[in-house]
Amino acid sequence: MLTNQSSSFLMSFWVGLAGVGVGIVAGFLAGAEPLYLGLAVGAIAIAFYFFAKFEQAVIGLLIIRSALDPFSDQQVPAAFAIALDLLTLLYVVVALLIGQRVHTDKFWWLFAAWVALQGFWVILIPLQELQFDDAVLLDSIREWVRLFSWLMVYLLVMQLKDRLQPQKMISALFFALIIPLTAALMQIFLPVSLLPTILQVTVDPISGEISRINGTLGLSNTFATFLLLFIGLAWWQLGQSQKRWPWLVLLGLLAFIYVGTKALFSLMMLGVFILVLMLPRLNLINLICGVLLFALVIGLFASTEFGQQRLGSLVQTPLLNPDMDISRAILLAQGDHNSFNWRLSQWTYLLKAWEQYPIFGYGLSTSRYLTIYNNYAHNDYVRAIAEGGVIGILAFLAFLGTQATHLIRLIRHTPPNSAQNKLCWVLLALLLSMFVGMITENIWTHTTFFFYWWTLLAIAGWNWNQSRELNAL
């Protein structure tokens, strides 16, 4: 095994050798296109900082991701994901060359196998084995790259194992809330005319006021799942910290903004989350706290005109109206603006399309082309069966089950009431609430949520007893 000094020397050697090659390329670019040279110089600077200050660079990348979605039209989140993939792969290659250990676990290999399997549907499109031709190939490739980026996030965070304390690593993630929460508060308290153009919001066509907030995540539903994840983390921190009032204040703020998203599916997710969270420590105090938190969110949601309309719309659906069947709901979906009836219609069209290609479906990211609405499925299980067929839905369910099994195994093998054990319970509660949310929402498309989800799942699998103190941040 190489010493730290020899590893650093070899790391510097290989990075320096790469720098020589990049310098030759930069000389060529200077004569061909100065703009490309500027981009290349920026990339070199980032790569050197990444290797020189690895821990700080990774934490910085994790924090900044929550602020990038407003720049989606400029492809900034996509460029960020590709850059992160390349940096992670470069780090792994250099680590292998110098004999340094690359940290993985069993779950990562299962994750990698599932991502590789998803590439099968991308390959089938140019082979003309599916309904669509090369016109949707680019969409499928983008979707696969997005899934691959999740795998790289998990792998990158695993490289911090035994370098940073898990508790401090998780605490650092709360800095990712600063910009989204600031944007959300601006959307709540500022008029539309004073908001920056990049903070696009849903505006009521009659009053001209903001009806739903989205922070920096573009869509209110996407922002809701992001907030729920950090509500879970704040709840976990509340049980770990001696000073509880800052975390109580943060929980209240997150709950207030959570209601501002006005996402009806998020109420179901919150209810499941609280129920699962209370199971291992079910007592009167926890039960009262959980009921009060849920009642607070429901009360705030129902106190708004928009919330009352959303709750009232459920009465005009087959869910709560026994006199209405699904066929009538589908007919009404064309003009009654009832989002649940619209979903029933969308799911029906997708399932009918799936019947034409039941085994392999239509390919990754094709569900929005399969119905008259040209929209996402708004049900991740229906999406999986339409895009992947029977094989795809089975693989999807198996992957979801693998995550649950992984967390349950960690819960069983960690000391009861330990910080790691409690974090795993929070993640399991989030996962089960996600399973429920997937029934009516496109949770699988919430890229920012999963960016932090895979980060936390990787940290939960660390050996917390062998983590070293963070020397500098």
Confidence of residue 88 (pLDDT cuts 50, 70, 90): very high
Cβ atoms of residues 371 and 350 within 8 Å: yes
Please tell me the pTM assigned to this model.
0.86
Looking at every residue in the chain, the average pLDDT score rounds to: 82
SS3 content of the chain, % helix, strand, coil (to 5): 75, 0, 25
* Least confident window among 67-76, 279-288, 345-354, 408-417: 279-288
Closest CA relative to residue 233, chosen from 461, 433, 430 = 430
Strands 202-203 and 210-212: antiparallel
Q: Which two tokens stand for residue 189?
A: 């308290």
Q: Which residue has the higher pLDDT, 428 or 308?
A: 428
CB 462 within 8 A of CB 166: yes
Contact 184, 121 (CB under 8 A): no
Query: How many Cα atoms sit within 13 Å of 338 on the Cβ side?
Result: 20
Q: Output the pLDDT for position 58.
A: 93
Share above pLDDT 90 across residues of the chain, in percent, rounded to a whole number: 46
What residues does 212 pair with on adjacent strands?
202
pLDDT at 471: 42
State mean pLDDT over 414-419. 90
> For residue 329, what are the β-bridge partners?
none
Q: Which two tokens stand for residue 361?
A: 């479906």
pLDDT at 23: 46
Q: For residue 473, what pLDDT band results from cuts at 50, 70 and 90?
A: very low
Residue 243 has a pLDDT of 85
| Rounded average pLDDT over 204-219 | 74
Angle between helices 284-302 and 264-278 (to 10 degrees): 180
Query: Is the pLDDT score of 359 beyond 70?
Result: yes
Contacts of 446 by beta carbon, 8 Å cutoff, 6+ apart: 221, 222, 225, 226
What proportion of the chain, given as a percentage, has pLDDT over 70? 75
Q: For tokens 């009521």, what's the residue?
A: 204
pLDDT computed for residue 339 by the predictor: 75
Q: Could you give the residue ranges of the DSSP H alpha helices within 241-366?
A: 245-260, 264-278, 284-302, 305-313, 326-332, 339-354
pLDDT in tens, 132-160: 666 688 899 999 999 999 999 999 999 99
Based on the number of CB atoms within 10 Å of its own CB, is 337 exposed (0-12), middle (13-18) or buried (19 or more)? exposed
Give the pLDDT confidence score for residue 320 in this predicted structure.
53
Helices 166-173/54-64 angle, 10° precision: 40
Continuous segment of H or E residues that includes residue 210? strand 210-212
The arithmetic mean of pLDDT across residues 60-74, rounded, is: 91
Q: How far is CA 301 from CA 178, 212, 262, 292, in A?
A: 24, 11, 7, 14
Q: What is the pLDDT of residues 430-441, one digit of tens each?
A: 999 999 999 999
Is the pLDDT score of 252 beyond 60?
Answer: yes
Q: Which regions of 71-200 does DSSP assign to beta strands (E)?
A: none
Q: Which of 289, 291, 298, 292 is nearest to 258 (CA)?
A: 298
Whether 314 has a pLDDT exceeding 80, the answer reads no
Q: How confident is the model at residue 321 (pLDDT cuts 50, 70, 90)?
A: low
Highest mean pLDDT out of 51-65, 101-115, 331-345: 101-115
